[in-house]
Amino acid sequence: MSAAYLLVSHGSRDPRPQVAMEDLAKSLRNKLENYSNYDGSSSVLSPTKCDYLIGTAYLELHPQPLHEQIVDFSQKVIANGCRHLKILPLFLLQGIHVTEDIPEEVELAKKTLAEDISIELQPHLGSYFGLQRLMAKKISDISLDGKIIVAHGSRRVEANRNIETMAISLNAVAAYWAVSPSLKDIVTQLVADGKKKIGIVPYFLFAGGITDAIAQSIQDLKLQFPMVSFELYEPLGANGELIDLIWDLMQ
C-alpha cells in the first residue's frame, strides 16, 4: 500500500458506533496484512505496522478536534516511513460535515504538518455506487409492496436529493430523521396508497441512538396502523460486504 488511510466518522455518545469503527479498521488491517503476505512484490507488513497504515478518527464527541487527530496519526505514519495519507470520510450524506467541516479540519492539519506528508481528502463513502448495491440487497424482498429508506437528512437540499435519487432507483421512498418528510409522514402516505407490507431500511453506517429511535417509532406505527406489516432491516454495519467495498476504494 503506497498510502496510509485514516477513516473518519461522525462520533457518538453511544459506544456502539466507535466499537464498530474499530472493528472495521481491524478487519481492514487484517486484509492488508494478508494481502501483503500474498503479494510477493511488496515487503511483508507486520500487524504493528498495519496499525499505522489504517487508523480511525472522529469529527465530533472526541477529546481532540479532528485536525489534532490527523496530526497525531500522520506523525505515526511518517515515523513508519510513509509520506502519503488519504482521508476517507465514512459519511453517507454530502452534508455540511462533508462539504465544510472536514475540509476545514484537514486544512488545519496540513498547516501544522507543512511539507512533512502529503494529505489527500477522498470523496465521502456515500458517493460510491457500490453502496447502492449493498442497499439493494437489503431491500430485495419481492413480497414488500412499500419500501422506505430512512436517512439522517441534511440542511443541504442537494444532499437529500441524492438520497431521493437512490431511493427511486431501488423502487423505494426516502424519509429523514432530522428534516421533512419524516418516517411517519411517508408511512402515512404509503398506507393511504393501500400498501400493506412495508420494508424500512435505516441508511446509517452503524447501529446507535438514532437507529434505536427509528425502531421505537416503528413500534408506535404498528399501533397506529395494525393492519400493516412492517419489516425493519439493520443498518449497513461492519459486515464483509462493506469491508470489501472500503478495501476496494483503498486500492
Last residue of one domain, picked from the residues 126, 151, 170: 126
Residues 28 and 16 in one domain: yes
Please provide the average confidence, as pLDDT, over all residues in the chain: 91
36 — pLDDT class (breaks 50, 70, 90):
low
Residues 121 and 134 in one domain: no
Residues 73 and 163 in one domain: no
Sign of the Cα torsion 103, 106, 112, 114 reads negative
Q: What pLDDT is attached to residue 1?
A: 57
149 — pLDDT class (breaks 50, 70, 90):
very high
Residues 136 and 227 in one domain: yes
For residue 16, CA distances in Å to 59, 122, 158 come to 16, 25, 29
Which CATH number do you get for residue 59?
A: 3.40.50.1400
For residue 36, CA distances in Å to 13, 27, 134 come to 36, 14, 27
Residues 227-251 have a mean pLDDT of 91
Residues 184-191 have a mean pLDDT of 98
Q: Which long-range contacts (CB under 8 A, 24 or more apart) does 81-85 make?
A: 82/3, 82/4, 82/52, 82/53, 82/117, 83/116, 83/117, 83/118, 84/2, 84/3, 84/4, 84/117, 84/118, 84/120, 85/3, 85/4, 85/5, 85/6, 85/117, 85/118, 85/119, 85/120
How many structural domains does the chain have? 2
Q: What pLDDT is attached to residue 42?
A: 46
φ, ψ of residue 194 to 5 degrees: the values are 95, 10
Domain that residue 63 falls in: 4-126
Residues 136 and 221 in one domain: yes
- Nearest Cα residue to 235 out of 165, 124, 139, 163: 139
C-alpha to C-alpha distance for 155 and 121, rounded to whole angstroms:
22
Summarised one tens digit per residue, pLDDT across range 91-122 is 999 999 999 999 999 999 999 998 889 999 99
Sign of the Cα torsion 169, 172, 173, 174 reads negative
Q: What pLDDT is attached to residue 189?
A: 97
SS3 57: strand
